[in-house]
Every structure is written in C-alpha cells, then in structure tokens.
C-alpha cells in the first residue's frame, strides 16, 4: 500500500473533531470526502455506490512515509542514580517464550558501548554486557534458557574489583536448571548514559528501540552495588524495585523503592498475568495481587502507530448521519478511511447500531492459524495489498497469535486497519472466502433501507457504551448489523434498559452478544477480550481470564448470566462454509401474534432460497444462532422458521458440549440449525431475531422483491407503529 492511513476514532458528531493520519510514499496526495452507500462490488448485487461530497478537507497534501514500530517494553526516564558508576546488581524473574529467537533485552540502559544491560544472547543463554566507553565486556552463562519456564536471573559488577557474576536458576528442577559464571576484568567505571532505563528491550544510541523480549518479567530490581549474595535483597543499596502488580489497569510502571523511579509501559504489553509465585488457588488478580507481579511483553505488541496528524474534520451541523470515508489518492494508489457520522440529536425513528466494537476486535485479522486449512476453504492467503500490508507491518487482531504463540487480547484504533475498508473481501483461508464482512456486509442493510426510502440514524457501539439507554430511547426500532459479536457490560445494560422501557429490537445477524469485551476506561482507543470456554481462536492461559483494563471476568456472556438467548431469543450454535440454507416456516409462524410478520408469504414458501451476496446462496448460514429455553429463550417466544440441513463443515459450538462426541456436524445433529424468533417485551416492546449473518445479503435479490426483504419490512413497519406489535 503506497498510501495508507487511519483515524483516531470510528465515529464523530457535529461539534466533535476526527483526526486522520496518513503515510504516503509519493510527494503529494489528494484527499476527498465520500459517503459509503454500498461497498460490495459483487455484480449480482447493487454494486458500487460511493457518493462524492464536498468538504473542508478536500485538497492536495504533502506526502511522507511514516513507519510502524511494534514491540512492547517498559521505559524508566533517565536519572543519574541509574548509571551506577560503582557497580550494580540486577535481579528479576523471567519467563522467556522464544529464547532461541535472537538477542532480546531484559534490563538495563546499555547502548552505544556505554551502560550495562542483561540480555538473552543469540544462543538463548543469559548474557551481561557492560560498556566502558572504549571497550565492551560480554559474559554469557553459555546455557540456553528453556522456553515457557520461570528463571530467577541475576547479574552484578563491582567497579572496584572488576568482578562480574552472572547467574540463572530455573524454577523447575532438572538438568541444566542452574548456571553461574564468575569473571574478573580490569576494574573501571561504567560509561554513563542519559537514555532511559529499559525493561524488555534495548535502546540504541540513535534512539531506536530494538531487541524486544518475548515473555514475562516479574519484579525486576536494581542495586547500586554488587551483592555478595546474588539472591539477597539489601535495602541499603536498593535503587529501584519495580512492582508490576501495582497499577495493572494502566500503563504505569511503579517503583516501590526509595527513589520512586516510576516509568511507563509502551506499546501495550499484557498485564494481569500470573507471576512466578502463582499458586493456582486464585484466578482473579484482584484477590491475589502479589501473585500477579508479571508483565508479558511481545515483539509485535502495538498501541499507537504514533503518526503525525495530516488533517482533521468536524461535521457541519446539518451533516446527515451515515457511513463516510476519506478517500486518499495518488496517481496510482488509493485508500479509504471509513468512519460514522452520528447525529447530534435523533433525526429519525429508526437507528442502525453499527457494531464498531466488533469491527475493532477483528481489525487487522490475518488468519494465521494453520488449522483453518483443514476446513478445505483455501490453501493460501490472497495477495491483496491490504493483506500484504498487515503481514509486512506485523499488525494483529484479537483473532491472531503473537509471535510467541500467545493470544492477542488487546486491540487499538490508533493504527492502520486495512481490512476495515470499503470493497475488502475475506481472504481464501476464511470461512467466508471472497465474501464481504462487517462494514461491507452491514451496508447491504443500509442500502436496502435507502432503496425503500426509510429515514434512519447510524449510531455506534462507542456511543452506546458511553451513553447507555439515553442513546437508544428516542428510537422506535433499533436494528443491528449482521455480526454484533462483541459487547461491553455497559452496552448490554443500555440495551436491557431500552427493552425494559418498551424498545423494539431487530437482531438481523448471527453470533451476536457473545464475547465479554471492555474498553479501557482511561484509554478508550483500546479494547480487551480474554478468550476461554467458548468457540475460540486461542485460549487464555490458566489464571489469566480476567481483564486487566476493568478487572472483570472475561469469556462468554452466558457464563455471567447474560446469555444472548435472554435478550435476543437465540444464541450462537455453529459456523461453517459452503452454501447457506433456506428457512422453513414452523408451526409458531401461524400463531396470530406472528401474522403481521408473514403477510404476503405463502404457508409452504421457503424463505431465502435464492442467491445471496454472502456464500452465494441462501439466507441462513455462515454463523448461526438457535433458540434454547435452558439458556434463557423466553417461554412465550415464537420460533417462526428454521434453516437446517447444513453440512458437516458446521459443527456444534464447543461451549454446548460436555465431552468430545461423534455426530456433532450439521448433517447429523439437529442442534445445528438457524432459528428465526419473535417475542413481545414489556411496555409494548418486542424482539425479532433472524440468527444468520447471511440474512441481510439476500435483501437486494431481484431488485429487493423477495421474501427476506418482505419479512424484514413487515417487521420494521410494525415496530415503527405506536401500538403494541
């Protein structure tokens, strides 16, 4: 991508400002504003609908390339006491995850042939480097560290005697569990530096940070003398004692030593992780903080790309709500930076709730899990510029794994997100290979609303999280996108209050309201998810299922008494590929309460048995939900129609099984089905749920004259009426 950018937020109201960052390899580029109406270029559908606009940002701008620097570490601002001219002793517990991956910094201020630093060397062994200005001394234990084991490591130097001691001791017993090296060199004062003291990386003389460490570091300490007993804690000579168990929900690094040499965690390393002394008796870090004194660093962590602002924009007061984008162009390259304009005050009776939190969790998904190949949906990733850029820049989503094999639990808006783009299609390894998803799939619904002449506002997860029910209350009907999977506790509370007060919800998707997710309260560009006990891309390590940012338990909402069946009538049951399935009407569809839904639909008519824009054919499929009274589907809910007969690419969701069993595929297990459900709520409220990501991709078939569109419109019209549905 010769030109690429990002914005500092996904949504903006009149009176607010959105900022755009751009990297361009050419000397100049052009920026214009567009409105996104339909961005699935499939010729079987409405096609490309991008509306050119005139705005204050239109113009030509100077281009400059801007780099991305991944890799997390902790930085302690320079203080003269950190130079330790008379000698030092470094101590820490470390848990390396890729010790054979080359040089990695652990502790110190070494760089440019001055200072001192503890490292893992190229052979995976513990190494100490001391720079004296004119010479550098290197000492290694020569014994490679074992991955995924705790080690107590120490290093000391006595400037008066020239004695160096280096020690590593593995917590687990066995061969090569301990190694100690002692050497005497010509005594000399250590070369002073003014750079930051770094933990989990190395600082070069140029200011560049490199040699990022993969793994955990627990309770690092620094003394201004060489200690006789390397494992002692001589408070008289203590310089710093960094306690990572403090301030877990922030980027603060706290020093509980006498000089308060506090620092900052850079690029979002993982906190609320178990330390070397975790007993397993508690899995909530708030109940056993002293056992969570570690931070897990990764060489591909990223919080903020840190690019300079290219331009900014504030929507005018009369700007219509909807999806927009800044269109960046050079003579031979382009990029789009999408965002939502949210109304200052409601202007319509219909609200489309854009699942921006789900967009953020999927941001930069690279499909790195080779297990996906076993599904037979593709053998290699596409070579689109977007996919290549994500790989080249080591950008990761919360579906990917870090380079050390651990799951990515944080995501951030402050970076390029090339898969959040109009016209982006899923790569071959995905279940929905070569299909639109998320933004581009959600515009299937908005284009249909435009074609029918409905006025609507677009609101987002960001506003719902911040404002709760007050955001939803003015609307007669709230429509979801095709895949509103990730929800915060605040979002669920807002939706529950809206429903209790008579709100009407149309859940037009699949696998929604599923994962517990949180926004960082002080850094709202960051979201977090901890995966366990569900259908998941990775597993949180034992003891690490609680969110660092909010302290709440992660996992599925169903395990916190908020199963989606309670709010939607249905919940996730399966996902797969291949052709979708049509719905068949069930006996409940002939209940007089549902008559308005099936007006104009024949008794034996298959629903959605025609071409679709997702997985080619059928309204039910891709990711699907079913009713389950044991999980909270209301007793008075009507199961109106069911799509079944899926292939064995569709397997029963893991969280619904107690043990491994045969016959869990769609061809043999009746639980693998997609249910359409309707039920009334209090105070005139109601819920209509379809349980399929592919539903909205059928709306445009035959120019919008089809039974999926007819049912959707029947429900929408009734939900907009004042009387009870």
Q: Identify the band that residue 463 occupies on the pLDDT scale cut at 50, 70 and 90.
A: very high
Tell the residue number behind the tokens 């050119």, with chain if given. Answer: 52
Helix then strand then coil, in percent of the chain rounded to 5, is: 15, 30, 55
Q: Is the pLDDT of residue 383 over 80?
A: no
Question: What burial class does residue 172 get, using C-beta atoms within 10 Å of its C-beta: 0-12 exposed, 13-18 middle, 19+ buried?
Answer: exposed
Tell the residue number behind the tokens 């997702």, with chain if given. Answer: 614
pLDDT, the chain, mean: 95
Q: Is the pLDDT of residue 181 over 90?
A: yes
Helix ranges, 71-168 (H): none
Q: Is the pLDDT of residue 233 over 80?
A: no
How many CB atoms are closer than 10 A to CB 227?
19
d(CA 705, CA 272): 53
> Are the CB atoms for 439 and 325 separated by under 8 Å?
no
- The three-class DSSP label of residue 273 is strand
Residues 585-589: contacts with CB under 8 Å, at least 24 apart:
585/640, 585/641, 586/639, 586/640, 586/641, 586/642, 588/638, 588/639, 588/640, 589/638, 589/640, 589/641
Q: Is the pLDDT of residue 329 over 90?
A: yes
The alpha carbon of 271 is separated from its chain's Cα centroid by a whole number of angstroms, namely: 15
Helix ranges, 354-404 (H): 356-361, 385-392
CA angle 669, 674, 675 (to 5 degrees): 120
Which whole-number Å values give the CA distances from 455 to 109, 349, 725, in the listed order?
60, 7, 20
Determine the average pLDDT of the residues in 274-294: 97
Determine the average pLDDT of the residues in 609-613: 97
Determine the average pLDDT of the residues in 300-318: 98
Domains of the chain and any CATH numbers = 3-68+306-341 (2.60.40.1930), 73-297 (2.60.120.200), 350-651+678-719 (no CATH)
Q: Identify the band that residue 155 occupies on the pLDDT scale cut at 50, 70 and 90.
A: very high
Q: For the segment 510-525, what is each residue's pLDDT rounded down to a tens digit?
A: 999 999 999 999 999 9
- The three-class DSSP label of residue 566 is helix
Q: Identify the band that residue 213 occupies on the pLDDT scale cut at 50, 70 and 90.
A: very high
pLDDT of amino acid 372: 39
Q: Identify the band that residue 659 occupies on the pLDDT scale cut at 50, 70 and 90.
A: confident
Q: Is the pLDDT of residue 444 over 50?
A: yes
The alpha carbon of 687 is separated from its chain's Cα centroid by a whole number of angstroms, namely: 29
Residue 501 tokens read as: 């007060």
d(CA 165, CA 476): 73
Pairing mode of beta strands 87-96, 334-341: unpaired
d(CA 488, CA 462): 10
Pairing mode of beta strands 49-52, 28-38: antiparallel
Q: For the segment 681-709, what is each residue's pLDDT rounded down to a tens digit?
A: 999 999 999 999 999 999 999 999 999 99
Q: Is the pLDDT of residue 240 over 80?
A: yes
Determine the average pLDDT of the residues in 241-265: 98
Residues 6+ apart with CB under 8 A from 520: 249, 526, 527, 528, 549, 550
Please name the helix (run of DSSP H) or strand (run of DSSP E) that holds residue 493, with its range, or none: helix 489-500
pTM of the complete model = 0.96
Q: Is the pLDDT of residue 49 over 70?
A: yes
pLDDT of amino acid 374: 36
Q: Identify the band that residue 368 occupies on the pLDDT scale cut at 50, 70 and 90.
A: low
Please name the helix (run of DSSP H) or strand (run of DSSP E) that holds residue 167, with its range, or none: strand 163-170
Q: Identify the band that residue 26 occupies on the pLDDT scale cut at 50, 70 and 90.
A: very high
Q: Identify the band that residue 230 occupies on the pLDDT scale cut at 50, 70 and 90.
A: low
Residue 407 tokens read as: 């799951």
Q: Is the pLDDT of residue 44 over 50?
A: yes
33, 17, 9, 57: which is closest to 315 by C-alpha?
Answer: 17
Q: Identify the band that residue 550 occupies on the pLDDT scale cut at 50, 70 and 90.
A: very high
d(CA 11, CA 317): 15
Determine the average pLDDT of the residues in 269-292: 98
Percent of the chain surpassing pLDDT 90: 90
**What secondary structure does DSSP assign to 619-640, as a single string?**
SB-SEEEE--GGGT--TT-EEE
Q: Identify the band that residue 231 occupies on the pLDDT scale cut at 50, 70 and 90.
A: low
Q: Identify the band that residue 304 occupies on the pLDDT scale cut at 50, 70 and 90.
A: very high
Q: Is the pLDDT of residue 32 over 50?
A: yes
- The three-class DSSP label of residue 689 is strand
Determine the average pLDDT of the residues in 282-304: 98
Task: Output DSSP code: residue 552.
Answer: -
d(CA 12, CA 459): 10
d(CA 389, CA 305): 14
> Are the CB atoms for 397 and 344 separated by under 8 Å?
no
pLDDT of amino acid 375: 33
């Amino acid at each position: 991508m010769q030109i690429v950018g990002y914005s500092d937020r996904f949504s903006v109201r009149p009176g607010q400002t959105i900022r755009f960052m751009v990297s361009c390899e050419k000397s100049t580029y052009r920026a214009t504003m567009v409105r996104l109406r339909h961005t699935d270029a499939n010729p079987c559908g409405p096609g490309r609908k991008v509306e050119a606009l005139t705005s204050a940002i239109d113009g030509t701008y100077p281009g400059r390339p801007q780099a991305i620097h991944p890799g997390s570490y902790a930085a302690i601002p320079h203080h003269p006491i950190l130079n330790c001219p008379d000698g030092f002793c470094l101590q820490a517990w470390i848990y390396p995850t890729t010790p054979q991956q080359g040089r990695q910094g652990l502790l110190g201020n070494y760089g440019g042939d001055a200072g001192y630093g503890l490292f893992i060397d190229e052979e995976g062994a513990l190494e100490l480097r001391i720079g004296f200005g004119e010479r550098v001394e290197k000492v290694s234990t020569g014994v490679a560290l074992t991955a995924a084991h705790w080690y107590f490591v120490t290093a000391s130097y006595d400037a008066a005697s020239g004695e160096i001691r280096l020690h590593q001791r593995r917590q687990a017993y066995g061969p090569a569990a301990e190694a100690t090296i002692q050497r005497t060199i010509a005594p000399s004062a250590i070369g002073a530096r003014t750079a930051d003291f770094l933990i989990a990386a190395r600082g070069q003389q140029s200011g560049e940070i490199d040699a990022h460490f993969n793994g955990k570091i627990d309770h690092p300490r620094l003394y201004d003398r060489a200690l006789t007993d390397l494992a002692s804690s001589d408070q008289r000579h203590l310089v710093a004692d960094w306690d990572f168990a403090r301030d877990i929900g922030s980027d603060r690094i706290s020093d509980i030593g006498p000089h308060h040499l506090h620092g900052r965690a850079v690029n979002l390393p993982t906190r609320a992780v178990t330390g070397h002394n975790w007993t397993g008796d508690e899995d909530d870090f708030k109940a056993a903080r002293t056992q969570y004194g570690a931070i897990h660093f990764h060489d591909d962590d990223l919080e903020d790309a840190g690019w300079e602002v290219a331009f900014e924009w504030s929507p005018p007061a009369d700007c219509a709500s909807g999806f927009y984008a800044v269109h960046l162009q050079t003579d031979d390259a382009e990029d789009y930076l999408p965002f939502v304009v949210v109304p200052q005050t409601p202007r319509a009776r219909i609200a489309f709730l854009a699942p921006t939190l789900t967009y953020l969790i999927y941001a930069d998904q690279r499909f790195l899990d080779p297990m996906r190949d076993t599904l037979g949906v593709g053998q290699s990733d596409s070579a689109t510029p977007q996919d290549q850029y994500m790989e080249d820049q080591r950008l990761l989503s919360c579906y990917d794994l870090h380079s050390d094999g651990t799951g990515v639990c944080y995501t951030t808006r402050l970076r390029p997100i090339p898969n959040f783009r109009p016209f982006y299609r899923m790569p071959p390894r995905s279940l929905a290979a070569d299909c639109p998803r998320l933004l581009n799939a959600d515009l299937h619904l908005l284009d249909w609303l435009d074609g029918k002449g409905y006025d609507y506002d677009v609101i987002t997860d960001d506003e719902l999280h911040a404002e709760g029910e007050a955001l939803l209350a003015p609307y007669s009907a709230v429509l979801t996108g095709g895949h509103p999977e990730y929800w915060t506790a605040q979002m669920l509370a807002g939706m529950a209050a809206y429903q209790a007060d008579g709100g009407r919800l149309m859940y037009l998707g699949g696998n929604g309201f599923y994962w517990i997710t949180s926004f960082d309260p002080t850094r709202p560009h960051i979201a977090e998810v901890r995966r366990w006990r569900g259908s998941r891309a990775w597993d949180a390590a034992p003891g690490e299922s609680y969110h660092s940012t909010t302290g709440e338990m992660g996992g599925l909402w169903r395990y916190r008494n908020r199963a989606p069946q309670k709010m939607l009538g249905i919940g996730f049951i399966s996902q797969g590929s291949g052709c979708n399935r049509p719905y068949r009407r069930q006996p409940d569809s002939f209940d007089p309460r549902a008559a308005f839904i099936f007006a104009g639909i024949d008794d034996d008519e298959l629903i959605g048995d025609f071409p679709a824009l997702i997985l080619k054919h059928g309204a039910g499929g891709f990711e699907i939900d079913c009713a389950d009274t044991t999980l909270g589907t209301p007793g008075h809910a009507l199961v109106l129609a069911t799509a079944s007969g899926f292939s064995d690419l569709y397997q029963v969701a893991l969280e619904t099984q107690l043990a491994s069993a045969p016959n869990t595929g769609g061809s043999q297990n009746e639980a693998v089905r997609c249910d359409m459900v309707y039920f009334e709520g209090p105070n005139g409220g109601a819920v209509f749920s379809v349980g399929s990501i592919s539903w909205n991709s059928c709306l445009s078939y035959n120019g919008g004259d089809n039974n999926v569109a007819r049912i959707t419109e029947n429900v929408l019209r009734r939900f907009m009426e004042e009387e009870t549905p």
